[in-house]
């Protein structure tokens, strides 16, 4: 497009012109302008990184906002009625757009809302009032999976525009979630009840890097011919030269990245040639080490340092180093090298950015987050290893494609350079992947098939899919359906398969998955296998983002599920199945399991019940690592094993929370009790019998906890009565450290007393039990909410009689739960537990023994000891007061599939944010 045909910002309505700080749109933007701003057509755009695609998003947003311009030309905005949803692969990209769009659209009253794991400050009302929701695929999927009963999907009707950034994410394993989201929106848009809503005419705009099969994306998103825009390298403002170098793998991924340090300096000398350079590293520590290595190498050149061009530059760097608060950075700056990551203070980050933009620092070593949000382009970009450490999974993984392209997009600095250089350092076997990616030759395939069971369950749970016809329709809304027709071989079909066979294969996949879900009681189907309804296990699998195989393990748990059983189930989970048993780890794991010091709570046992001396499987490794970690003082310090342990704990907490809800649903007393304890143990990385419980308090680490333990302070109670000065002496800290440590007790929930009583019952053959909670002291006002599960169960038949989630700092004190049950035929042990949701070591338990012989009841406290006596039980009633009772048989209680729980909270795990409910439990009962 020639310059005279460029579109001007003046072509926009007057009210919108302030959104742009330039006069003319570039060639790409001008080419797209008529379809973007003067139509509602769906669009898919393929163009190089850095060619100005963000403006295309903004033009589509302005098109939507133009509906609020009155005939008189006034902008009359109705909050939240026409929503834009922007989906990007990373939180950094979301936050970059959030800053930009708050600045551009905020003055007009347009509300932007970030939905990522970094934003905890939102609720359902914020979502309903938002005009632009900026999110990642996983977070958006998670938010719409929860609160289904109270309107999790209710805001969908207001969605009028869906913006998908870096849509080539579909090619990564994470792409399955993006595909499921779009398919869900397409399905809901076709529902008859949505005809009058903005969703019925929802507009799609997807942008990607250069890809060969843009037409497939267009077919998936129902894009007309005029909405398909493909641009080549000619649209890039600076011409890029790319090189991909392959290296021999090391023993592990961590050592491989460290070894690549040896080559970075020579690469910069050969390809950067005195120009500015960014070296992307996978971790903060890796960036710091790379800067250290480069500065040490530069130092050996003396006055011929290749990163210093003049005495004036050298002097400016010396002065700048004095103003840097990071001591290590000071020694790097003087050699023209710096590093940049989130661990630096704002002042030091700003200093490094300023020196780099001025050209005084020639090389910055950084993490991939710099590729998003901070405008620091360089002539040369070096990607030192294409793998990064995934904290959630605890292992090194390939960067997703969008991240690699974002990093590459930092190369070239218009108008300072007319060329840029990208160097990718990877393993030999992955060289071709990145060559194809950079050349735009990589086909975008669907990744939905391996996890279609879980995503189909989610749609059934959300009632998007209610019968087999709708299930097949959902499959046909997917990108999988498009690619299966084009490339059947990639999806378990033979090349040359007819269209009819492909259709039949798709239907067979759908029916097979439905049958599997029905067979394992995740969903209900009628006799014909047509109608589909979610069952509680399917709901829980969806809620907690678990794999199908993991949920099956949970459902196969033993009836008398012990703490050790819970741990074994978690160790078999698919979520951590990637963990491998490495040969060089076996000796350490064997020593831990032998446990000569008696540290571990549980051990891997051999055939004769003795501790195994040889750990032989992945599951055994996970079991040993979990037990070692939960002592509170792990003996594992190896980096790789520590990463494995962190992943075991984060996933273990999530799985245990799902088990807890499943056992509440099944009325399984022991299972619920032990999974509840396990969930918070994994969260705190402590067993409830650990001697280092004080680590839970802010300001107390392992060293302080051990010092306090040595002076006999092992519990919150003993800390409360301790002398602050003695604490300072034993910890070697100065005044007022002891006072601060004691003040940390204020973060705990308020003290609660619990008692269980056998009240004389006027009804013959019945026993009346009352469990009462009281707060002896007025609770201190706290910004933190404290919750606990109140569980009343009968030990002999392992049955939950009563369960309620209590907000500990707000329940009306005293609070009573009354239970009416038939007199036992023999002995019956009733236990009442108050298990705090977060903290370990403060749970309460009371036990009441009912005896038939002489109607004697014994009431005493007991600490976490359970018997395995098992006797049948008669009728049970949970009552609100003396006048009203509701009778439920023990059998009905066991089989009840719809227990109501006072729990409005979203699950607290790393995938999503926790949002607790506002309700205060009423005096009386929860119908169990």
- CA gap 177, 194 in Å, rounded: 23
Identify any residues that bridge with 888 across adjacent strands, giving them in sequence order.
876
3-state secondary structure of 621: helix
Average pLDDT over residues 176-184: 95
pLDDT exceeds 80 at position 526: yes
In the chain, helix, strand, coil percent, each to 5? 45, 20, 40
Local confidence band at 907 (pLDDT 50, 70, 90 cut-offs):
very low
CB 659 within 8 A of CB 569: yes
For 698-736, write each residue's pLDDT tens digit.
989 999 999 999 999 999 999 999 999 999 999 999 999
Strands (E) across 428-482 are located at none
The alpha-helical segments, DSSP class H, found in 131-243 are: 137-145, 175-189, 214-220
Average pLDDT over residues 45-54: 88
CB 41 within 8 A of CB 227: yes
> What is the pLDDT, as a whole number, of residue 343?
78
- The interaxial angle of helices 175-189 and 468-476, nearest 10 deg, is 120
**Cα three-residue angle 23-24-26, rounded to 5 degrees:** 145
pLDDT exceeds 60 at position 885: no
β-strand pairing of 43-46 with 228-230: parallel
For 389-440, write each residue's pLDDT tens digit.
776 666 788 888 888 988 888 888 777 778 899 999 999 999 999 998 888 8
Phi-psi domain of 654 (left: phi exceeds 0; alpha: psi -120 through 50; beta: other): alpha
How many CB atoms lie under 10 A from the CB of residue 32?
26
> What is the pLDDT, as a whole number, of residue 888?
36
Q: Is the CA virtual torsion 541, 547, 550, 556 positive or negative?
A: positive
Phi-psi domain of 51 (left: phi exceeds 0; alpha: psi -120 through 50; beta: other): alpha
**Cα three-residue angle 596-601-607, rounded to 5 degrees:** 75
Give ranges for CATH 2.60.40 in the chain: 753-895
Q: What mean pLDDT, rounded, does the chain reach?
A: 87
- CA gap 675, 565 in Å, rounded: 9
> What is the pLDDT, as a whole number, of residue 99?
92
Q: How far is CA 165 from the centre of its chain?
A: 20
Specify the range with the lowest mean pLDDT, choosing from 292-296, 412-416, 536-540, 728-732.
412-416
Top pLDDT among 71 and 479 is at 479
CATH number of 698-747: 1.10.150
pLDDT exceeds 50 at position 860: no
CB 742 within 8 A of CB 733: no
- CA gap 272, 420 in Å, rounded: 9
User: CA-based Rg of the chain, rounded to a whole angstrom?
Assistant: 31
3-state secondary structure of 180: helix
**Edge-to-edge strands of the sheet including 203-208?**
112-115, 132-135, 83-87, 159-164, 203-208, 43-46, 228-230
pLDDT exceeds 70 at position 169: yes
Which residues does 222 contact at the CB level (< 8 Å), separation at least 6? Answer: 42, 204
For 549-574, write each residue's pLDDT tens digit.
999 999 999 999 999 999 999 999 99
β-strand pairing of 844-851 with 857-861: antiparallel
- CA gap 912, 113 in Å, rounded: 15
192 by Cβ neighbours in 10 Å (0-12 / 13-18 / 19+) ranks as: exposed
Long-range contacts of 500-509 (CB under 8 A, 24+ apart): 506/472, 506/475, 506/476, 506/481, 507/472, 509/449, 509/452, 509/475
Q: How far is CA 566 from the centre of its chain?
A: 22
CB 736 within 8 A of CB 725: no
> What is the pLDDT, as a whole number, of residue 303?
86
3-state secondary structure of 188: helix
- Predicted TM-score (pTM) of the model is 0.83
CB 15 within 8 A of CB 75: yes
Q: Is the CA virtual torsion 497, 498, 499, 503 positive or negative?
A: negative
pLDDT exceeds 90 at position 245: yes
> What is the pLDDT, as a whole number, of residue 926?
38
% of residues, the chain, pLDDT over 70: 89
Average pLDDT over residues 667-676: 98
> What is the pLDDT, as a whole number, of residue 917?
31
Local confidence band at 466 (pLDDT 50, 70, 90 cut-offs):
very high
Give the H or E element holding residue 625: helix 618-630
CB 566 within 8 A of CB 675: yes
Which residues does 148 contact at the CB level (< 8 Å), separation at least 6? Answer: 461, 462, 463
Give ranges for CATH 3.40.50.300 in the chain: 3-235, 239-438
Architecture of domain 753-895: Sandwich (2.60)
Identify any residues that bridge with 208 across adjacent strands, giving them in sequence order.
46
CB 638 within 8 A of CB 589: no
> What is the pLDDT, as a whole number, of residue 897?
32
- CA gap 236, 53 in Å, rounded: 11
- CA gap 733, 725 in Å, rounded: 10
Give ranges for CATH 1.10.10.10 in the chain: 449-543
Average pLDDT over residues 432-461: 93
Local confidence band at 878 (pLDDT 50, 70, 90 cut-offs):
low
Which residues does 771 contact at the CB level (< 8 Å), separation at least 6? Answer: 754, 755, 756, 757, 790, 792, 802, 816, 817, 819, 832, 846
Superfamily of domain 548-697: Sec63 N-terminal domain-like domain (1.10.3380.10)
CATH number of 239-438: 3.40.50.300
Give the H or E element holding residue 876: strand 876-879
3-state secondary structure 480-533: HHHHHHHCHHHHCCCCCCCHHHHHHHHHHHHHHHHHHHHHCCCEEECCCCCEEE
CATH number of 3-235: 3.40.50.300
CB 42 within 8 A of CB 72: no
Enter the DSSP assignment of 854.
T
Please tell me the total number of residues recorded for the chain in this structure: 928
CB 243 within 8 A of CB 271: yes
Average pLDDT over residues 834-862: 76
Cα atoms found within 13 Å of the Cα of residue 903, Cβ hemisphere only: 20
- CA gap 890, 127 in Å, rounded: 42
Give ranges for CATH 1.10.150 in the chain: 698-747
β-strand pairing of 83-87 with 239-247: unpaired
pLDDT exceeds 90 at position 87: yes
**Cα three-residue angle 656-659-663, rounded to 5 degrees:** 140
pLDDT exceeds 70 at position 928: no
3-state secondary structure of 824: coil
Comparing CA positions, the residue from 46, 49, 47, 56 lying closest to residue 25 is 56
**Cα three-residue angle 18-24-28, rounded to 5 degrees:** 115
Fold of the CATH domain 449-543: Arc Repressor Mutant, subunit A (1.10.10)
- CA gap 845, 829 in Å, rounded: 13
Top pLDDT among 65 and 414 is at 65
Local confidence band at 274 (pLDDT 50, 70, 90 cut-offs):
confident
DSSP output for 650-715: HHHHHHHHHHHHHHHHHTBHHHHHHHHHHHHHHHHT--TT-TTGGGGSTT--HHHHHHHHHTT--S
CB 649 within 8 A of CB 629: yes
For 181-209, write each residue's pLDDT tens digit.
999 999 999 989 888 999 999 999 999 98
Local confidence band at 794 (pLDDT 50, 70, 90 cut-offs):
very high
3-state secondary structure of 278: strand
Q: Integer distance in angstroms from the first to the last C-alpha of the chain?
A: 70
> What is the pLDDT, as a whole number, of residue 880?
42
């Amino acid at each position: 497009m020639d310059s005279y045909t460029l579109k001007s910002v003046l072509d926009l309505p007057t009210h919108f012109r302030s959104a742009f700080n330039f006069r003319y749109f570039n060639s790409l933007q001008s080419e797209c302008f008529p379809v973007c701003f003067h139509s509602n057509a769906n669009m898919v755009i393929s163009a190089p990184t850095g060619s100005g695609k963000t403006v295309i998003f903004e033009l589509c947003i302005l098109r939507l906002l133009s509906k609020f311009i009155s005939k008189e030309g006034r902008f009359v905005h109705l909050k939240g009625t026409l929503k834009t949803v922007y989906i990007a692969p990373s939180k950094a990209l979301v936050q970059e757009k959030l800053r930009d769009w708050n600045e551009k659209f905020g003055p007009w009253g347009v509300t932007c809302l970030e939905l990522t794991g970094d934003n905890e400050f939102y609720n359902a009302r914020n979502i309903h009032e938002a005009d632009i929701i900026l999110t990642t695929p996983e977070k958006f999927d998670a938010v719409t999976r929860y609160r289904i009963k109270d309107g999790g999907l209710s805001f969908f009707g207001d969605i009028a525009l869906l913006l998908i950034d870096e849509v080539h994410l579909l090619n990564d394993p994470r792409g399955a979630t993006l595909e499921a989201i779009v398919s869900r929106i397409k399905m809901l848009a076709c529902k008859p009840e949505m005809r009058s809503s903005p969703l019925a005419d929802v507009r799609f705009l997807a942008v990607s890097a250069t890809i060969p099969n843009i037409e497939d994306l267009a077919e998936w998103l129902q894009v007309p011919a005029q909405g398909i825009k493909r641009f080549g390298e000619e649209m890039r403002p600076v011409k890029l030269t790319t090189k991909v170098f392959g290296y021999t793998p090391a023993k592990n991924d961590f050592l491989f990245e460290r070894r690549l340090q040896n080559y970075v300096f020579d690469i910069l000398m050969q390809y950067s040639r005195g120009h500015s350079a960014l070296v992307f590293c996978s971790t903060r520590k890796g960036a710091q080490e790379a800067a250290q290595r480069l500065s040490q190498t530069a130092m050996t050149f003396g006055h011929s340092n290749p990163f210093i061009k003049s005495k004036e530059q050298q002097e400016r760097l010396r002065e700048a180093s004095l103003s840097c608060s990071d001591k290590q950075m000071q020694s790097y700056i003087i050699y023209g090298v710096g590093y940049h990551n989130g661990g630096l203070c704002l002042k030091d980050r700003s200093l490094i950015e300023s020196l780099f933009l001025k050209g005084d620092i020639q090389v910055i070593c950084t993490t991939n987050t710099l590729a998003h949000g901070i405008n620091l382009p360089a002539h040369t970009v070096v990607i030192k290893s294409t793998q990064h450490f995934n904290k959630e999974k605890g292992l090194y993984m390939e960067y997703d494609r969008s991240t690699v392209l974002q990093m590459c997009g930092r190369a070239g600095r218009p108008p300072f350079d007319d060329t840029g250089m990208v160097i990718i350092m990877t393993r030999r076997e992955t060289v071709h992947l990145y060559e194809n990616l950079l050349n735009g030759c990589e086909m975008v395939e669907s990744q939905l098939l391996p996890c279609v069971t879980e995503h189909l369950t989610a749609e059934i749970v959300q009632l998007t899919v209610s019968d087999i016809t709708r299930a097949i329709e959902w499959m046909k809304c997917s990108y999988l359906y498009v690619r299966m027709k084009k490339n059947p071989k990639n999806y378990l079909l033979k090349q040359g398969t007819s269209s009819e066979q492909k259709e039949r294969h798709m239907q067979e996949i759908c029916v097979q998955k439905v049958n599997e879900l029905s067979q394992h009681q995740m969903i209900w189907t009628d006799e014909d296998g047509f109608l589909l309804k979610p069952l509680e296990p399917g709901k829980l699998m969806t809620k907690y983002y678990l794999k199908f195989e993991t949920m099956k393990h949970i459902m196969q748990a033993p009836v008398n599920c012990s703490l050790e059983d819970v741990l074994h189930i978690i160790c078999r989970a698919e979520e951590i199945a990637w963990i491998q048993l490495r040969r060089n780890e076996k000796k350490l794991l064997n020593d831990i399991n032998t446990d000569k010091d008696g540290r571990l709570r549980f051990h891997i046992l051999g055939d004769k019940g003795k501790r195994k001396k040889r750990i032989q499987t992945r599951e055994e490794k996970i079991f040993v690592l979990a037990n070692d970690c939960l002592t509170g003082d792990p003996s594992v310090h190896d980096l790789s094993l520590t990463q494995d342990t962190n992943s075991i704990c984060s996933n273990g907490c999530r799985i245990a929370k799902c088990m807890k809800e499943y056992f509440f649903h099944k009325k399984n007393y022991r299972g619920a009790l032990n999974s509840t304890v396990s969930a918070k143990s994994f969260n705190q990385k402590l067993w409830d019998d650990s001697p280092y419980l004080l680590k839970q308090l802010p300001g107390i680490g392992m060293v302080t906890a051990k010092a306090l333990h040595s002076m006999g302070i092992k519990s919150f109670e003993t800390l409360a009565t301790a002398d602050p000065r003695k604490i300072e002496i034993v910890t070697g800290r100065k005044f007022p450290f002891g006072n601060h440590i004691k003040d940390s007790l204020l973060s705990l929930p308020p003290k609660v007393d619990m008692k269980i009583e056998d009240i004389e019952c006027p009804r013959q053959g019945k026993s009346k039990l009352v469990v009462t909670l009281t707060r002896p002291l007025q609770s201190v006002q706290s910004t933190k909410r404290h919750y606990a599960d109140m569980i009343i169960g009968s030990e002999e038949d392992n049955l939950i009689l009563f369960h309620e989630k209590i907000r500990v700092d707000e329940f009306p004190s005293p609070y009573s739960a009354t239970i009416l049950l038939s007199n036992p035929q023999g002995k019956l042990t009733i236990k009442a537990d108050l298990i705090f949701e977060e903290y370990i070591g403060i749970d309460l338990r009371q036990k009441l023994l009912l005896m038939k012989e002489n109607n004697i009841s014994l009431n005493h406290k007991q600490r976490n000891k359970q018997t395995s006596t098992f006797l049948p039980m008669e009728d049970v009633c949970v009552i609100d007061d003396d006048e009203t009772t509701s009778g439920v048989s023990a059998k009905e209680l066991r089989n009840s599939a719809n227990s109501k729980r006072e729990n409005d909270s979203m699950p607290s795990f790393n995938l999503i944010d926790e949002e607790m409910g506002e309700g205060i439990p009423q005096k009386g009962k929860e119908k169990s």
